[in-house]
Amino acid sequence: MKRVKFVFPVFVLIFMLLGASIFAVNPDKELEGKRIAFLITEGFHDGETMFPLGFLQNKGAVITVIGIEPGVYKAYNSDVTAVVEKSVTDVSIADFDALVIPGGESPANLREHSSVVDFVREFIQTNKPVASICHGPQVVIATGIVEGRTLTAVDAIEDEITEAGAIFVDRDVMIDGNLITSRTPPDLAPFSIAIMQALN
């Protein structure tokens, strides 16, 4: 199985080890055969990307990192780099069972590209799980189809959520149909588990 390549500084490895307890929720490969896309670009948040990615990969899911263009991109909050394997224009929504959008500065960059926004909009419309955390919902909002939906996120984008006609709530995980949202890194464990459960 293909593994996504990351470069880990020591403090990130410590972070992942501290969170490893959630990897033991169920040691079975219950996501075997599930295909999940992680959508990032320059300025992604390292923990919000790697923590759910590692959790889901550990459960047997096949991960593909997609973005605006293939290449190596850097996190905004560390020296961690990630390889974007494919552009959104080179993949099909049918290739994936779920989409994950980490936070950081990446979402603000992603939402400026119509090809990305179109991809996310169409993904939401399939009713497959679309999970976003922290600033990740900025890309979901950009689709223009969140009116009446209930989302959570980092409180810095509460106004963006309400201006889009959605309802903002302050909780660790909010599940509204196929939309899964969370606030910040302390919510990564329930966020990751919610994605797993949505795929079972």
**With bands split at pLDDT 50, 70 and 90, how would you rate the model's confidence at 3?**
very low
Domains of the chain as residue ranges with CATH: 10-198 (3.40.50.880)
pLDDT, tens only, 50-68: 999 999 999 999 999 999 9
Q: Are 56 and 31 in contact (CB under 8 A)?
A: yes
> What is the structure's pLDDT at 28?
76
Nearest to 46 by CA among 81, 72, 17: 81
Q: Are 144 and 154 in contact (CB under 8 A)?
A: no
More confident residue, 70 or 14: 70
- Angle of helix 46-58 versus helix 188-198 axis, rounded to 10: 40
* pLDDT(69) > 90: yes
Tell me the mean pLDDT in the region 73-84. Answer: 97
Question: One-letter amino acid identity for 123?
Answer: F
Tokens 């780099």 found at = 81
Calpha distance 151→165 (Å, rounded) = 11
176 is catalytic: no
In this structure, the strands spanning 173-176 and 179-182 are: antiparallel
pLDDT, tens only, 80-134: 999 999 999 999 999 999 999 999 999 999 999 999 999 999 999 999 999 999 9
Please tell me whether residue 131 adopts helix, strand or coil conformation.
strand
Q: What is the pTM of this model?
A: 0.89
Calpha distance 18→109 (Å, rounded) = 30
- Looking at the chain, the whole-number percentage of residues with pLDDT higher than 70 is 86
pLDDT, tens only, 24-39: 444 578 999 999 999 9
The encoded tokens of residue 170 equal: 């302050």
Tokens 């779920």 found at = 98
End-to-end CA distance of the chain: 21
> What is the structure's pLDDT at 30?
94
- Angle of helix 10-18 versus helix 46-58 axis, rounded to 10: 50
Cα dihedral across residues 66, 188, 25, 127: positive or negative: negative
Of 56, 62, 82, 134, the active-site residue reads: 134
Q: Are 38 and 53 in contact (CB under 8 A)?
A: yes
Q: Are 96 and 102 in contact (CB under 8 A)?
A: no
Beta-carbon neighbour count of residue 84 at 10 Å? 23
> What is the structure's pLDDT at 13?
45
